A and B are shown apart, each in its own frame.
Chain A
Amino acid sequence: MSLTWIVIFTAGGLLFGALAALAARDATGRLNALTRRARPWLMLSASVTALYWLQSSTPIRHLDFWLPTGTLGLTGLVWAATLKPRPATGAKRPDQTAAGPGTPDLRATLLTGLVMAGIVALIASTRYVDALCCLTPSRPPEIGAAGMALLMCVAVSVIVARLATGRAWLDAALVALLLALFVALKTEPLTAGVSALLRALTGQSVSQASALDVRWLGFSYIAFRLIHVLRDHAGGRLPALSLREFVTYVVFFPALAAGPIDRAERFVKDLRGWDAGPNAAAARVEDVAEGLRRILIGVFKKFAIADSLALIALNPINAGQIQSMGWAWVLLYAYAFRLYFDFSGYTDIAIGMGRLFGARLPENFDRPYLRPNLTMFWNSWHMTLANWFRAYWFNPLTRWLRTAGGASLNASVIIFIGQTSTMLLIGLWHGVTWNYALWGAWHAAGLFIHNRWTAWARSRQAGSPTSAWRARITHMLSVALTFHFVALGWVWFVLPDVGQAVALFARLFGG
């Protein structure tokens, strides 16, 4: 997200926040009620618009229009598949009719569909108005083609909604579809293949196909949210969500490009629970002040600190040019801090923007480089991603290994399998390449060693008192050790060539 976009979204959020604060002071309460009604529509409209606006350009004709449309199609499809609640829970949908649980309010759904379709149609129609063209990076396709695509999305969603009743395999099939898309987009040769296919379909030169052609805005995060709702739906834990709530949750614009990965039930609580009581005005002002504060902190972190560090941060070009051990460490430290300030800066901006609209997105970072061990590091670095993997991979896997799948395995083997597979998957989430896999393996090894060390140390130190100063020194050394382990791990992360990474390790240690 560029600074211009941040300024525009922030200005919009501030305007909304200011109006909401003024409306909350209205003695009649009518203005406040109006703002309450307008807010979810505003969040939906802004998010759908941002989906197209923030999509980066691509050399494949109209793909910068079709990818956001694909996101909306997938979101609608998953919503349709999760319409019928699984037996365990299923609170009454706010727009449900008396027809019974799982039956959405047709009017509200139609209205949401119309609003979304209207926005997409407006964006598509900018191709005919030179003065307005274009919200998308390139000229959108013919409005007829856009209309046909929307109709197809609706038709498929309706079919899926009808299929959904009692068919658990549908959730699994959609998860498989999302994973397949994920793998296709994260594996360079496959992405290049997708590009070639799309180029062939649009009559463009297939020989120029490249993995860089297909850059789907926020797909990683969107897929994680969709998988989360499908898994929770399958487990009967998903609350009932209207189409408007669902789409806003999945494509909420502040969290589109770089997270955080919120949980649907938490997000929807914010969406529905906007305070309308006597403290509403104070709450609105607090939202605006806190939102602005987080945005300013985020902008400073990202554009002042991270972008300055980026000038000297380790990268595949300068890694091969470094002439001394000392400066190699400086460049590595610069990369470590650049990554943190960049990512946490974006998170601050996202949280701040969300707050302007009254949504409290979850925190993603909590001073990760000050953690005394790797386990605590992963509890404070990209927390929502780590929590996602914990909830949907590590916990189910280790539970299964403890019971059905590997009941004979001892605890340390189960932990090893769980941590290694989790960290490898987190690594591969960044891209299906050897260096990301090695980065995941590096952390898996660190986590396992820490786990075993803790168990061993606990057994030895049980009952023996530790002085305060000794504890303090141990803590500081642990922080330094953990930070350096993480920083060295970034070598795998930043250098795509494994040989180059090994050479840099040699340089870092005096080779």
Chain B
Amino acid sequence: MRGISTRRIAIKALLLFVVVNVVFALTDPLPAIGSLSAYNLIFPGRPRLPYSDFPERAYSLSLYNLNAMFASHEIAAGPRPSGEYRVLLIGDSSVWGFLLRPDDTLAARINAGGRTLPDGRRLRAYNLGYPIMSVTKDLLLLQHAMRYEPDLIVWLVTLESLPAGRQLLHPLTQNNAGAVRGLIADYGLPLDASDARLLDPSFIERTLIGQRRNMADVIRLQVYGALWAATGIDQDYPDYEPAAIDLEADETFHDLKPPVLRAEDLALEVLRAGHHLAGDTPILIVNEPILISNGRNSDIRYNFFYPRWAYDQYRVIMAEQARQQGWRYLDLWDVVPMGEFTNSAVHLTPAGSQLLADRIAQQIVAGEQ
């Protein structure tokens, strides 16, 4: 019998390594791999998209693979049940439910109401919110979510998610550059498709070695499914500082100064694109509740995010846009009292979440009558 040739083994191993990496770079199989999921099969689907900076405590993690994110969500469990009136909630961390248990998020509170529409269909809301404020990030998620055949989209927005300069700040948009460029091109968004923040991986970065972190994230998301199933925990709940009530006497909003906020300063085209993208599916745009402070300098600012002049004009602009464009629009900016916010001027307590859920659910049911 011939002995084992170490040199041959080394050469074959090297060759295999090169071939696998080149094929990986050329075919980009990660999105397809992301679609393979043990969620909704072995583990229950997650009620919100995976997001966390502390995976070891949250049993969840932030990743950029949209297929993997959606495949882990309960919305991907199977065909839409008959008799379900499917509502997708999109928006920022207040919709996602930062610091809220899965049962206390906006979607969960809407569903807990057990409402039915006049035609007998059961109202079922799905939480597709995702932290960080950017309507372009919302649009990206909406594009992906349309395959789940919604009956209604409820899009919660706030002024902070609209400044044009903030649209590409989110790593999710930066790492899905191709999809974002597609949206820019398809809907003529006033965003720079060659913005350096949109990441284009080099050939080496597209190999298996270059993509090892993204690959590991997809695998880790699957592995964490066991802990999600075992504990029902999907985010870290640290102690937190309550949202600021006493505010700085600062009138600026990002790089804008009083007295005028112009519609052109806001990425309203993204909202219009959302309506195009949704096609026949109606969209209800909701101006989400904010903390209205009564503390120091509250005559200048509503809260940490917003000087009064900017926010007041934003509300006027939104109402005007909705009227002009024929959007369904609900301004709920002041429906939650100051004490029902947690660590930020948009993050709600369970009671605040219930208040908002009731108002939105009423509107949904009313809209179908």
A contact set with B: CB distance below 8 Å? 285, 288-289, 308, 311-312, 317-318, 321-324, 327-328, 330-331, 334
- Chain A residue contacts of B59, Cβ below 8 A: 318
24 contacts between A and B (CB under 8 A): A285-B6, A289-B4, A308-B219, A308-B220, A308-B223, A311-B55, A311-B56, A311-B224, A312-B223, A312-B224, A312-B226, A312-B227, A318-B59, A318-B227, A318-B230, A321-B231, A321-B232, A321-B233, A324-B230, A327-B226, A327-B229, A327-B230, A328-B230, A334-B226
- Is the Cβ of A322 less than 8 Å from the Cβ of B223? no
* B215-247 CB contacts (< 8 Å) to partner A: 219-220, 223-224, 226-227, 229-233
Residues of chain A within 8 A of B223, CB atoms compared = 308, 311-312
Contact of B57 with A by CB under 8 A: yes
A-B contacts besides A312-B224, A330-B226, 7 pairs, CB < 8 Å: A285-B6, A288-B6, A311-B220, A321-B231, A323-B230, A327-B226, A334-B226
In the complex with contacts A285-B6, A289-B4, A317-B57, A311-B231 CB distance below 8 A: no
Partner of B6, one of A289, A328, A331: A289
A327 CA to B206 CA, complexed, in Å: 37
Min C-beta distance of B38 to chain A, whole Å: 12
Contact among B57, B219, B226, B232 with A323 in the assembled complex (CB-CB below 8 Å): B232
Instruction: Determine the distance from Cα of A75 to Cα of B218 in the docked complex, in whole angstroms.
Output: 48
State whether A318 touches B231 (Cβ < 8 A).
yes
Q: Which 4 A-B pairs have the closest CB atoms?
A: A327-B230, A321-B231, A312-B226, A311-B223
Question: CA separation between A330 and B42, bound complex, in Å?
Answer: 12
| Interface magnitude class on chain B | 10 to 19
> Would you call B230 and A330 a contact (CB within 8 A)?
yes
Q: How far is the CA of A334 from the CA of B224 in the complex (A)?
A: 12
Q: How far apart are the CA atoms of A288 and B6 in the complex, in Å?
A: 10
Max chain A C-beta neighbours (<10 A), residue from B55, B227, B229: B227
Pick from A285, A322, A334: contact of B231, CB under 8 Å: A322
Across-interface contacts of A331 in B (CB, < 8 A): 226-227, 230
Complex CA gap A328/B230 in Å reads 7
Interface class of chain A by DSSP: helix
CA A308 to CA B232, docked complex, whole Å: 20
A285 to B223, CA, bound (A): 39
The listed residue with most A CB atoms (<10 A of its CB), out of B55, B219, B223, B226, is B226
* A355 vs chain B, min Cβ distance (A): 14
In the complex, which residues of chain B have a beta carbon less than 8 angstroms from the beta carbon of A321? 230-233
**Which residue in chain A gives the minimum CB-CB distance to B4?**
A289
B119 to chain A, nearest CB (A): 37
B230 — which chain A residues lie within 8 A by C-beta? 312, 318, 321-324, 327-328, 330-331
Alpha-carbon gap, A328 to B231, bound state (A): 9
- Chain B residues closer than 8 Å to A308, beta-carbon distance: 219-220, 223
Compute how far the CA of A184 lies from the CA of B220 in the bound complex, rounded to whole angstroms.
Answer: 39
Q: Report the nearest B residue to A334, measured CB to CB.
A: B226
Distance of A4 from chain B, by nearest CB (Å): 15
CA distance A203 to B4 in the complex (A): 61
CA distance A133 to B65 in the complex (A): 41
How far apart are the CA atoms of A318 and B224 in the complex, in Å? Answer: 12
Contact residues in B for A285 (Cβ distance below 8 Å): 6
Minimum C-beta distance from B336 to chain A (A): 30
Contact with A along B10-32 (1 / 0, CB 8 A): 00000000000000000000000
Q: List the A side residues contacting B57 at CB < 8 Å.
A: 317
Q: A317 to B227, alpha carbons, bound, how many Å? A: 11
In chain A, what residue has the closest Cβ to B6? A289
**CB nearest neighbor in B for A317:** B57
**Complex CA–CA separation, A328 to B229 (angstroms):** 10
CB distance B227 to A311 under 8 Å? yes
Write out the residue numbers on chain B whose beta carbons fall within 8 Å of the beta carbon of A330.
Answer: 226, 230
- In the complex, chain A residues whose CB is within 8 Å of the CB of B219: 308
From 49 to 83 in chain B, residues with beta carbon under 8 angstroms from any chain A beta carbon are 55-57, 59
Chain A residue nearest to B57 in the complex (CB): A317
Give the nearest-CB partner of B233 in chain A.
Answer: A321
**Restricting to B136-153, which residues have a CB under 8 Å from any CB of A?**
none
A112 CA to B4 CA in the complex, in Å?
40
**A322 / chain B contacts, CB cutoff of 8 Å:** 230-231
Cα of A93 to Cα of B226 in the assembled complex, Å: 58
Central interface residue in B219, B230, B231, B233, by most chain A CB within 10 Å: B230
Distance in Å: Cβ of B4 to nearest Cβ of chain A: 7
Residues of chain B lying within 8 A (CB to CB) of residue A317: 57
How distant is the Cα of A175 from the Cα of B113 in the complex, in angstroms?
71
